[in-house]
Structure 1
């Protein structure tokens, strides 16, 4: 059996998965999404992802397309049908199909699309050497806490980072403050303290970020949730990023400047180990 997608109540071959031309996600980016990692066939941090989906839907006044328990069942069924052991599940909810009009449609039904993708673990070379980051101007709208499918500024930043031979873009506002990455959360370590931006409308509340903060509080590591500048990042002892696809990944240079020793630091390595232990516990609990 080939790869399947889920589109509005049907499991269909991925190559035939389609939405209507007047789906408001296509015409207005009027929708939200989530990406959940899958390890050994288990959805990692599933409940916090569903919590955030509910938050994003509520902020945009989009109805759940199915109930939360039904969505859980669909996610598991698609993972099983595709034999996904390691990778990502992407699910997107839009306001639905309606004649094109900026106002909310009166009768449209929320649309749900789910796909899966296989993804290998980060290579040993990446974990050993870390990744480079490029700073890019933050051009996004003020409600970054909503996981909207409107991602054009993120795409432009990521492309600019790619052209600069960097793994990720860290977004910097006019005051020189780093908010987050184009698809990740940004962290630095200075004098033993782990620093990351507070959860406000200025950043997306990353689920890996949230889990890592909760896990790290029990380790004795000093955690500081505050904004930091690009200048502070360049002078940091360590830096790293978090995301659902990479978990915890060392950042060893920014704009070509070495961070700390230029190698993954001990705090970053400790935090990655803590997070991976948490993933292992979730897999065992699901077995």
Structure 2
């Protein structure tokens, strides 16, 4: 059975979906996207993702293609039509299509597409054993708070990480960590404080990050939102990253420095358990 996607205002088989050659998302990267995790057939933190989608579009003066309620109905329909149990729902909205010109016309109709992907989100090797991250100078534009489809910097960084024996990449700027190539970055100090960079134009306001911050508050976990240096990260007791697809994943090596003997630490394990409890998933093994 062909995967069913949403394109052109209707549900169609993926091999029948068509986009204009002149869509600005294709020609200019003039588009934003969101990815919502699906676990046990249910979406995780989707309200946060739809709110961020609306904010990103607003920052670029692109109108919402539909209301949040209508978009959620499409997401749920795609999950049902594709019998998705575990994976993601991807949304993308571009400014629309017209003949190529840097200056876009007023009143363009946004292009909205959506599709599901089957992915193993729970119990991955990274969640069990932790990941190693390369360090790379942040190559991205200044408005990283907008979740655009302009991801070439991240693509190249992840490719370089893999080629040099790392699992992923953390970016830095002026000696301080900004965030992961597709995740929010956290460290744990030796006195068990959680440190993560505060939201600004320098980083994407992560949805899983926001959910985890609420859990830290609810469980009286001390958390500081501030920049931290490469030296602080490599000298930390533990580290981890969050994203819709990696949930809460331990980081056991940063550059050439191993943390906590190269195994996930107890604070990270506890935070994993807190997060998984919110989506009614048993504690991860490891």
What band does the TM-score fall into relative to the shorter chain? over 0.9
In the other structure, the counterpart of 1:85 is 85
Q: Which moved more, 1:207-216 or 1:272-281?
A: 272-281
CA contact 1:128–1:263 (8 Å) conserved in 2: no
CA contact 1:34–1:53 (8 Å) conserved in 2: yes
* Displacement of 1:254: 1.2
Separation in 2, partners of 1:183, 1:196: 15
Separation in 1, partners of 2:214, 2:21: 42
- Structure 1 residues 60 and 125, CA, compared in 2 at 3 Å: closer, same or farther? closer
* Displacement of 1:107: 3.7
Aligned length: 280
Task: Note the 1:39-188 alignment, pairs <5 A.
Answer: 39-123=39-123, 125-173=125-173, 175-188=174-187
* Displacement of 1:124: 5.7
In the other structure, the counterpart of 2:219 is 219
Q: Map Cα deviations across residues 217-243 of structure 1 (whole Å, 9 max, x no partner).
A: 121211010001111111000000101
* Paired residue secondary structure (1:217): helix
Q: CA RMSD in A?
A: 1.3
* Displacement of 1:152: 1.2
CA contact 1:235–1:260 (8 Å) conserved in 2: no
1:200 aligns with 2:213: no
Q: Map Cα deviations across residues 118-170 of structure 1 (whole Å, 9 max, x no partner).
A: 11134464333211110011011111000011111111111111112212100
Separation in 2, partners of 1:40, 1:129: 23
In the other structure, the counterpart of 1:272 is 272
CA contact 2:147–2:204 (8 Å) conserved in 1: yes
- Structure 1 residues 72 and 121, CA, compared in 2 at 3 Å: closer, same or farther? closer
The TM-score with structure 1 as length reference comes to 0.94
Separation in 2, partners of 1:246, 1:276: 12
In the other structure, the counterpart of 1:285 is none
Mind listing any 5+ residue stretches in structure 1 that lack a counterpart? 282-287
Mind listing any 5+ residue stretches in structure 2 that lack a counterpart? 282-286
